[in-house]
Amino acid sequence: MNPRQTESYQQIKMQNQVREQYEQQQTERKRNAIVLFLAYLRAEGYHNSVSAIEAETNVTLAKYEPCDNIDIVSVIGEYEDYFKFKFNRQVKLVKKAPAKDDTKQEHQSLVLDKIQKRSQSSAKPPPPPGKSSANKPAQKDAKDAKEGKETKDQDEEHTPNILPQIPVKEISNQNLKNMDKPKPKEEMVEGEAEAFRPILAAAPSNFPAELLSFYSIIQHEILTEHPTQSFKEVVGLEKPKQILKESVILPAKYPDLFTGILKPWKGCLLFSAPGNGKSFLARALASECKCTFFNISASSLLSKYYGESEKLVRCLFLMARQYERSVIFIDELDCLMGARDGDSEHEASRRIKTQLLVEIDGLNSVSNQQIFVLAATNLPWTIDSAMLRRLEKRVYVNAPNQDDRAQIIRNVIGDRIDGNLIQQMVMKTENWSASDVCAICKEAAMSRLRKVLQKLEANEGGHYDAKKDIQIGQEEVTEALKVVKPSYDLKLQEKYVEWSRDFGA
């Protein structure tokens, strides 16, 4: 490999690692600020405000509390003393809000599609190494220079939130390896599986008034708990995992590589027979994408009142544009986007389909927003062709092969069954779905448990260690194979394969 190309890849990897560390630091700072404010409000008696903030942010004083001798008032006081000592003048933390004039009102009523991303000055990633923003000349107009001279001096002289620059030449391969190592548990503020909800954005001032009543409805569909699944737990399905990673996860890690013709996919359709892991893939993506995840079903967007379904669809995509990165997962897409068949279709159904098509088509016109639409269905041949065109990737989630089925059985009951019986179950479950394989594992375990319970009931006065008698044998496997049957036949699976060959992407 070209040494210059290797150095370039190392620079990209290093920049990504620095940015991820900085973003994690800013997330912890935001969490700490919420905890300090909650403690202050509780001490001052604002109990209703504390309850509201805890419900909205999912950061509670039951999980976190300020350290000894730490409170928000003392932090502000120490910062004021520090600023006075360093700059020999008092710091201004609060100023009077200017009177709202017509010009400002007109500026705030711009179209929501063109609003800028929320100000994240505290979470802004550092500039690339060797391109320090301090080298760029400050370009301010006369009005800003006159009104904000003091603020400008403060920003130039005191920048506590800026990450120190790390020259590329000073980073060796050993340092890169050290950066790859995960933090020890004691250094991690919270585990990956611990629930932490990012602060949900409130409706902006220019949000359409007719959609405000639907804002809270869609907000309830935002995933607020960290799923426990991950892509490592998904057995097989390498192609779907690759598509999802290169659509959401990798563009966030290496944004410089996904530009122009290589910009991320905007939509993906997962289709297969029931029980092959489409929803599991969505949960794994939600666990690893580190972005706002909308979990949408047909009931989320359908309403019995005239015109409300279209408003819900519009509100959903307007809310997704508020966040820097969003994933909209629509389960059972065929319920919403069946093929339009002219006069026999109800007007309300046709309107919501049209609105959904318009909103998804509008995602491609906004290049600086990362909104990804993920859909799943068991009936891909019933979906409207216009929707299929907008979902750029149409990926078949295949049934598990022999190796995958063996791995699933080991994951479910591997500690209770002999290896020879695992191979027997693998051969008997050819063309079965992943959920059917899990079902037969559970049935075999339950069959053994029934016999254990009978012994417990018959030996009430004696001593019987039931936990040691849970090993699954040939008899339990045979009984499970007689009881559990596959949820679909081979002809249906061949239909999916044929549709994937004709319309997959």
Shared domain check, 259 and 326: yes
Shared domain check, 122 and 76: yes
Give the pLDDT confidence of 279-303 residue by residue, as tens digits.
888 888 888 887 888 888 888 888 8
Question: Span 20-49, mean pLDDT?
Answer: 85
How many independent structural domains does the chain possess? 3
Shared domain check, 339 and 217: yes
Check pLDDT > 50 for residue 145: no
Please report whether residue 198 resides in a domain.
no
DSSP 338: B
d(CA 127, CA 124) in angstroms, rounded, equals 9
d(CA 278, CA 282) in angstroms, rounded, equals 7
Shared domain check, 338 and 314: yes
Instruction: Judge residue 405's burial from the number of C-beta atoms within 10 Å of its C-beta, 0-12 exposed, 13-18 middle, 19 or more buried.
Output: buried
Please report whether residue 199 resides in a domain.
no
Strand 325-330 vs strand 370-377: parallel, antiparallel, or unpaired?
A: parallel
The CATH number of residue 299's host domain is: 3.40.50.300
d(CA 442, CA 476) in angstroms, rounded, equals 11
Higher pLDDT pick, 385 / 457: 385
177 confidence band (pLDDT: 50, 70, 90): very low
Shared domain check, 235 and 177: no
Question: Span 8-34, mean pLDDT?
Answer: 81
Shared domain check, 348 and 391: yes
Higher pLDDT pick, 8 / 41: 41
Check pLDDT > 50 for residue 195: no
- Biggest CA-to-CA distance, the chain: 92
Please report whether residue 71 resides in a domain.
yes
For 108, residues 6+ apart whose C-beta sits below 8 A from its C-beta are 205, 206
What is the DSSP secondary-structure string of 173-194?
HHHHHHHHSPPPGGG-SS-TTS
Question: Span 462-466, mean pLDDT?
Answer: 59
- State residue 126's pLDDT score: 47
Please report whether residue 15 resides in a domain.
yes
- State residue 5's pLDDT score: 58
Higher pLDDT pick, 20 / 239: 239
Question: Span 349-375, mean pLDDT?
Answer: 78
d(CA 285, CA 263) in angstroms, rounded, equals 19
**pLDDT > 90: percent of the chain:** 0
Please report whether residue 263 resides in a domain.
yes
Please state the length of the chain.
505
Neighbours of 288 (CB within 10 A): 18
Check pLDDT > 80 for residue 144: no
Smallest Cα–Cα separation from 221: which of 326, 358, 310, 306? 326
Question: Nearest 5 degrees, angle CA 180-CA 186-CA 189?
Answer: 85
Higher pLDDT pick, 198 / 359: 359
pTM given for the model: 0.63
- State residue 325's pLDDT score: 81
The CATH number of residue 407's host domain is: 1.10.8.60
3-state secondary structure of 266: coil
Residue pair 231/284 in contact (Cβ under 8 Å)? The answer is yes
Three-class DSSP labels, 5-66:
HHHHHHHHHHHHHHHHHHHHHHHHHHHHHHHHHHHHHHHHCCHHHHHHHHHHHCCCCCCCCC
Check pLDDT > 70 for residue 278: yes
Ramachandran area for residue 128 (φ above 0: left; ψ -120 to 50: alpha; else beta): beta
d(CA 33, CA 220) in angstroms, rounded, equals 25
Please report whether residue 105 resides in a domain.
no
Shared domain check, 413 and 389: no
Question: Span 313-327, mean pLDDT?
Answer: 84
Shared domain check, 298 and 243: yes
Shared domain check, 408 and 346: no
Residue 268 lies in domain: 209-396
- State residue 188's pLDDT score: 39
Please report whether residue 197 resides in a domain.
no
Residue pair 279/406 in contact (Cβ under 8 Å)? The answer is no
- C-alpha torsion sign, points 9, 10, 13, 15: negative
- State residue 251's pLDDT score: 85
Match 């919501």 to its residue by tokens. 352
Check pLDDT > 80 for residue 162: no
Average pLDDT in the chain: 75
d(CA 336, CA 352) in angstroms, rounded, equals 8
Question: Span 193-198, mean pLDDT?
Answer: 45
- State residue 367's pLDDT score: 56
d(CA 106, CA 103) in angstroms, rounded, equals 5
Shared domain check, 221 and 183: no
Higher pLDDT pick, 188 / 12: 12
Question: Span 161-170, mean pLDDT?
Answer: 40
Shared domain check, 266 and 238: yes
Which of 115-119, 136-140, 279-283 is predicted most confidently? 279-283
Which of 110-124, 202-216, 453-467 is predicted most confidently? 202-216
- State residue 77's pLDDT score: 85
Match 């068949």 to its residue by tokens. 341
484 confidence band (pLDDT: 50, 70, 90): confident
Question: Span 372-390, mean pLDDT?
Answer: 88
488 confidence band (pLDDT: 50, 70, 90): confident
Check pLDDT > 50 for residue 140: no
- State residue 150's pLDDT score: 44
- State residue 160's pLDDT score: 41
Question: Span 80-92, mean pLDDT?
Answer: 82
Shared domain check, 409 and 368: no
d(CA 18, CA 184) in angstroms, rounded, equals 18
d(CA 160, CA 75) in angstroms, rounded, equals 14
Question: Span 50-74, mean pLDDT?
Answer: 85
- State residue 100's pLDDT score: 62
- State residue 463's pLDDT score: 62
Please report whether residue 195 resides in a domain.
no
- State residue 414's pLDDT score: 78
